[in-house]
Amino acid sequence: MPEQIVRLMDLQVLDRQLQELEQTLATIAGKVETLREQNASNQEELQRLTEEDQQAAAARKKAEKDLAEGEARIRNKRMRLNMVRTDKELQALTLEVESLKETNQRLETELLAMIESADPRAARIKELGELIAKGRAALAEGEKEIAAQVEELKTSIASKRRERDKVASEVQPNLLQRYNTLFTRRQGIAVALAKGGSCMGCRRLLPPQLFNEIQKHLQIHFCPNCQRILYFEEKPAEQES
């Protein structure tokens, strides 16, 4: 088998192991990441509700003040009712009092709505506070739990990558580039076995002439269909029948 093919096959084994290690690392880190995201989202909601609560308290204070002022104004108008002399004045003042009463009633309804909506918000704020405290503890616990595993995986990945880079440096640059592209685009199989006249990468029949050439091991050939780098394995004699 051409020496370059042997290198590429080694490279493919290493790359697949590397991929697996990185996948494991991502999965482990992902568990903690989910906790972290949940915490951040709770924290965000808490901040939003707290601000809302502060604004609502200010609005409530203002409504209470307006209501008190309205009541004072009504009292004032009522006192003047006793002093009017003409029917016209009486009618005008009565209308004013009615209008002030309406305004106050509206303010009262608003105030009651504000008081009602404050309750579930306060409950959620309390709940969020507890959730965040629990979430932080779970995150710290999770981080502690995976720390050793992550460290170990990172070390394995680094050493595997060094090994991989060493093998890669022994492959011709053009071929390596082709291999790298294929490895990514062909789901981790860049080098495929040619067997029984077919490419085992894409399962298509190879032109007979090409299959013959591959078996001569004189140069590197590619599958005309999937572009994979092809190799041929001599069958051990005892398996031939």
Q: Which residues are near Zn ion by CB under 5 A? A: 199, 201-202, 223, 225-226
- Least distance to Zn ion from the beta carbon of 188, Å? 15
- For 195, the token pair is 């067997």
Token readout for 11 is 């490279």
Nearer to Zn ion, 129 or 207 (CB): 207
CB of 198 to Zn ion, least distance (A): 8
Least separation in angstroms between CB 209 and Zn ion = 16
C-alpha 198/C-alpha 216 separation (Å) is 16
Q: Which is nearer to Zn ion, 67 or 199 (CB)?
A: 199
Q: Taking the complex as a whole, how short is the minimal distance between the CB of residue 44 and Zn ion, in angstroms? A: 50
Q: Of 208 and 236, which has the nearer Cβ to Zn ion?
A: 208
Identify which of residues 41 and 181 has a Cβ nearer to Zn ion in the complex: 181
On whether the CB atoms of residues 107 and 73 are closer than 8 A, the answer is no
C-beta separation of 74 from 102 below 8 A: no
Burial 9-29 (b: 16+ CB within 10 A, else e): bbbbebbeebeebeeebeebb
Nearest approach in angstroms of CB 203 to Zn ion is 8
Q: Reduce the DSSP state of residue 222 to 3 states and report it.
A: strand
Q: Is the CB of 77 or the CB of 222 nearer to Zn ion?
A: 222
Return d(Cα 192, Cα 136) in angstroms, integer.
49
Helices then strands (H, E): number in the chain? 4, 4
Amino acid letter for position 157: I
